[in-house]
Chain A
Amino acid sequence: MTSPDPQPRPIDAKIERSSLGTPEARRMRARVPTADARAVVARAAGYPRTVRSTKTSRNVGG
């Protein structure tokens, strides 16, 4: 998941046509390196399905 993926795919066109493709959203996205975003996606994928707090009955992480 860390290698660059330069080949455009059909999903890329859909993303650019979506609300993520507005000029303002594109500018914002361009500020973040792909490697940083991939690391966050990987971190999200590693979170457990349900997390129980040791302090309260609320879910940790939101």
Chain B
Amino acid sequence: MQPTPQVQPPGAAGLAVQLHDQTPAAIDVPPAWLSDFDATAGRDFDQAMAGLRRRARLAEDADLLAALAPDNFTGPDYDRFAEELAKYGMAVIAAWIVQGVIFQKYRERGLGTLPEPSPGALNQPDVAAELTNETVAWALHHFRRTVLLNNRWDPKKGASLKTFFVGQCLIRFANVYNRWRDNDQRNAAVLIDDLLLLDQPLTSTPRTDPAELAVIRQEADTRLAALPPRTRKIMVLTAADWPQQAIAAELGMTEKAVERTLSYYRKTERRKGA
């Protein structure tokens, strides 16, 4: 008796699969979604999933803006959003400035070429922080006015809200940086080598005695010689009892930046002394 040949039923686990040739009903989905799923067939599943997650985030970005729009992007909810957007922008821009890649990023965005500073010039804590804060503040200002209120961000174009904002930061960086550069060069030229300012102190400055000023001048020439010009000037004017507000005004920076520079210098000195 011939054994009956066993026929393996279709299906990976030997389970019967009912095949049919019915045409599935047409489903109205964006073509880009289908291409992502095509990718799963032969290419990278993770890539396809990342695409879906990105689209989900874009939809959530749109939802977030829809919640803020009725109040014209004002009020406590907008402030909270702006705060988190600022944090993200500040972290990104500060990192790019300190790493020295911001000029490359600027070029890559097709925004042109900015004159680069001398090596290390932007690594000073007060400089990096001030450029970052000013850049992000202007970016927030323009982002709200020109992008959010005019509905210029479009999720269909693929850039997320945070990416769009960083683009805005790069645009604003140019003016902020150019102003800083003009100011810094002017300070470096005028300033401190001869410390003429100390010969014409503020009327409210307690130190006007020429002997005292000479001591400060000598101190600046020796101990502070290695410091960058602006930091040196801050130190000298502080030694001459200029108020931080006056120093900030003189150097075109904020009081906070003056304070931060002093704090950084003192910490450095303490480390040297330890």
Smallest beta-carbon distance A50→chain B, Å: 10
* Interface presence of B145 (CB below 8 A): yes
**Is B64 an interface residue when CB atoms closer than 8 A count as contact?**
yes
C-alpha spacing A17/B56, complex, angstroms:
9
Instruction: Provide the main secondary structure of the chain A interface.
Output: helix
In the complex the two chains form, is A32's CB within 8 Å of B90's CB?
yes
Contact of B79 among A10, A17, A41 (CB under 8 A): A41
B140 within 8 A of A: yes
Task: Bits for A6-43, please: 1 = Cβ < 8 Å to B, else 0.
Answer: 00011110110111111001001101101011111101
Please report the C-alpha to C-alpha distance between residue A62 and residue B162 in the assembled complex, in whole angstroms: 19
Q: Within 8 Å of chain A (Cβ to Cβ): is B176?
A: yes
A44-B82, A62-B171 known; A49+B145 contact, CB < 8 A = yes
Within 66-110 of B, Cβ neighbours of A (below 8 Å) are at 67-68, 76-77, 79-88, 90-92
**Residue B175 is within 8 A (CB to CB) of chain A in the complex:** yes
Q: A22–B54 Cα gap in the complex (Å)?
A: 10
Is the Cβ of A40 less than 8 Å from the Cβ of B86? yes
Identify the closest chain A residue to B53 (Cβ).
A22
Number of A residues, CB within 8 Å of B: 34
**Nearest CB of A to B128, in Å:** 13
- The listed residue with most B CB atoms (<10 A of its CB), out of A22, A25, A32, is A32
Contact residue among A1, A18, A41 (Cβ-Cβ distance under 8 Å from B57): A18
A residues near B240, Cβ cutoff 8 Å:
none
For A14, give its contact among B60, B83, B160 (CB under 8 Å).
B60
- Knowing A28-B91, A36-B90, A60-B175, the reply to whether A18 touches B80 (Cβ < 8 A) is no
Once the chains bind, are A38 and B83 in contact (CB under 8 Å)? yes
Establish whether residues A25 and B175, one from each chain, have CB atoms under 8 Å apart when the complex forms: no
Of the stretches B22-30, B130-138, B266-274, the one at the interface is B130-138
Instruction: Please give the residue numbers on chain B whose beta carbons come within 8 Å of chain A beta carbons, in ascending order.
Output: 57-58, 60-61, 63-64, 67-68, 76-77, 79-88, 90-92, 133-134, 136-142, 144-145, 160-163, 171-172, 174-176, 179, 256
Counting from the closest, the 10 A-B pairs by CB-CB distance are A19-B160, A44-B140, A62-B172, A28-B91, A29-B87, A32-B87, A43-B137, A17-B60, A11-B77, A44-B137
Query: Using a CB–CB distance below 8 Å, which chain A residues touch chain B?
Result: 1, 5, 9-12, 14-15, 17-22, 25, 28-29, 31-32, 34, 36-41, 43-45, 47, 49, 60-62
A-B contact pairs, 27 of them (CB 8 A): A11-B67, A11-B68, A11-B81, A14-B63, A19-B160, A20-B88, A21-B57, A28-B92, A29-B87, A29-B88, A29-B91, A31-B91, A36-B133, A37-B87, A39-B256, A40-B136, A40-B140, A41-B82, A41-B137, A41-B140, A43-B137, A44-B136, A45-B141, A49-B145, A60-B179, A62-B142, A62-B172
If A19-B60, A41-B79 are given as contacts, then 16 extra A-B residue pairs at C-beta distance below 8 Å, sorted by A number, are A9-B77, A10-B67, A11-B64, A11-B80, A14-B63, A18-B162, A19-B162, A21-B57, A22-B57, A28-B91, A34-B87, A36-B133, A39-B256, A40-B136, A43-B137, A61-B176
